[in-house]
């Protein structure tokens, strides 16, 4: 199927589908005309990409993790041995990001509390 069908089947814009390809997340083949040709598997892949993006992973990590997952975007199962370790690492990264945001919020809270009507 071509990109227009993918847009309808996945709800993802053409722009984004091309971006996913640029990031190595999708590798559609090409017609002699240059038009991209997507497979049924690509539709499933897009669902996984959306699920992984929602999990806070970067496209770089997703590119490495994608070939090690099974199932659709809602219920994915890791099939490679080292994938779980990689995900634990991502979890840790997210945790530190949360800590930094919390600290930033605390700073604002302090400033707010010191002002008029604090």
Partner DNA sequence: TTTCTTACA
Partner DNA sequence: TGTAAGGA
Tell me which residues touch DNA (CB under 7 A).
2-5, 7, 13-16, 18-19, 34-36
* DSSP β-bridge partners for residue 37: 29
Give the residue with the Cβ less far from DNA, 53 or 87: 53
Give the residue with the Cβ less far from DNA, 37 or 84: 37
Give the residue with the Cβ less far from DNA, 13 or 95: 13
Dmax (CA) for the chain in angstroms is 68
The CB-of-25 to DNA minimum distance in angstroms stands at 12
Evaluated on CA atoms 61, 64, 68, 69, the torsion sign reads positive
Residues 6+ apart with CB under 8 A from 65: 52, 57, 83, 86, 87
The CB-of-54 to DNA minimum distance in angstroms stands at 11
Angle at 29 between CA 60 and CA 16, to 5 degrees: 45
The CB-of-70 to DNA minimum distance in angstroms stands at 24
Give the residue with the Cβ less far from DNA, 17 or 76: 17
Closest C-alpha among 28, 29, 63, 36 to residue 48: 63
The CB-of-22 to DNA minimum distance in angstroms stands at 9
């Amino acid at each position: 199927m071509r990109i227009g069908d993918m847009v309808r089947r996945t709800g993802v814009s053409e722009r984004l589908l091309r971006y996913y390809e640029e990031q190595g997340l999708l590798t559609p083949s090409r017609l002699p005309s240059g038009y991209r040709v997507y497979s049924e598997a690509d539709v499933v892949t897009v669902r996984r990409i959306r699920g992984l993006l929602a999990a806070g992973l970067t496209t770089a990590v997703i590119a490495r993790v994608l070939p090690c997952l099974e199932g659709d975007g809602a219920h994915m199962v890791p099939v490679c041995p080292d994938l779980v370790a990689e995900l634990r690492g991502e979890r840790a990264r997210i945790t530190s990001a949360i800590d930094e945001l919390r600290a930033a919020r605390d700073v604002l809270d302090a400033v707010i509390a010191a002002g008029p009507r604090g």
